[in-house]
Homo-oligomer: A and B are copies of this chain.
């Protein structure tokens, strides 16, 4: 008989079964089986344990009720959520969209989910991503984050895979990187091969492993080439900043004949600066980008740039995380990149020897 409201009953949350959202018990009642049977059937592990007839009944009832398993209950019970957090510094541009797509695809193949967390702080320390990313998580994939940002991520005590970040940091369980050094070497080789000798490096004013590598590699390549010189200007990854940095570079005396940019956005700024200075690209000055964003082909002329296999880095990152979660060894992967030659580069203008002023 109904006892007079026992202690614990009082603590019942506002959303009982009257909430409208059917539970597996509702399905069980309707199919006239036990709740456990429902779980078995819908969990797909009923083979040889539940009769096909019953299984069908259960599925019909679930369908009729529009039943969806409660995710919280499932992951509470399982202790795992089959979910990874993908932390990215920004959502601008299509690069991170592609990383996400790759990660999500691979995750789905293993019945995993990915929740995306665009860090409000950019590449810097993420402010409590675990508080904001409202999901139960099994692991974290961090793309292009600064080293000190990773510390905060590591606090979570979750397996961490880093993409496009310093592989020397020993915080991560696994690392996936691009061969950015090779990419920059390809750029330098392309321009140097075209005959350029006065180069400007439009560097990203961002403390990030990838940009450090780009700067060092470029400096080395130039140093190895007799007669070649390198001028460096830095700017934030915004059009506005790129414009002013590029303007500084292009008004230097003697004027560089090529501007090597750390990023396609910077390259867009460089093209804008060139045009405003009355310089034609590529006749008067060559410009290169990096990343091969959709922006690269939105410009006219289209940018010569380095294509990064963004989807693949996302996929490889997810695979690495799955390996770690399964207790398997997850190595450090380095993905090849490729220079895409388009309209923004050409031979340097002739007759513009030292007599340029």
Minimum Cβ distance to chain B for residue A104 (Å): 7
Q: Is the CB of B66 within 8 A of A157?
A: yes
Q: Per-residue CB proximity of A19-54 to B under 8 Å, as 1/0?
A: 111000000000000000000000000000000000
Q: Is the CB of B298 within 8 A of A276?
A: no
Q: Per-residue CB proximity of A298-311 to B under 8 Å, as 1/0?
A: 11100000000000
Given known pairs A101-B120, A136-B70, A297-B239, the reply for A91 and B96 (CB within 8 Å) is yes
Q: Is the CB of A72 within 8 A of B68?
A: no
Q: Per-residue CB proximity of A80-114 to B under 8 Å, as 1/0?
A: 11110000001111101100110010001000111
Q: Is the CB of A77 within 8 A of B135?
A: no
Q: Per-residue CB proximity of A60-80 to B under 8 Å, as 1/0?
A: 000000101011111111111
- In the complex, which of the residues B101, B276, B294, B299 contacts A299, with contact meaning CB atoms closer than 8 Å? B299
Stretch at the interface among A215-223, A265-273, A334-342: A265-273
Is A9 on the interface with B (CB-CB < 8 A)?
A: no
Given known pairs A76-B76, A97-B90, the reply for A298 and B239 (CB within 8 Å) is yes
Given the complex of chains A and B, what is the CA–CA distance between A71 and B77 in angstroms? 12
What residues of chain A have their CB less than 8 Å away from a CB belonging to chain B? 13-15, 19-21, 66, 68, 70-83, 90-94, 96-97, 100-101, 104, 108, 112-116, 118, 120, 130-136, 155-157, 238-240, 265, 268-269, 271-272, 275-276, 294-295, 297-300
Chosen A-B contacts, 8 in total, with CB atoms closer than 8 Å, are A13-B79, A66-B155, A70-B76, A71-B135, A100-B118, A104-B132, A135-B135, A298-B298
Closest 5 CB pairs of A and B: A113-B134, A15-B79, A91-B97, A83-B134, A135-B135
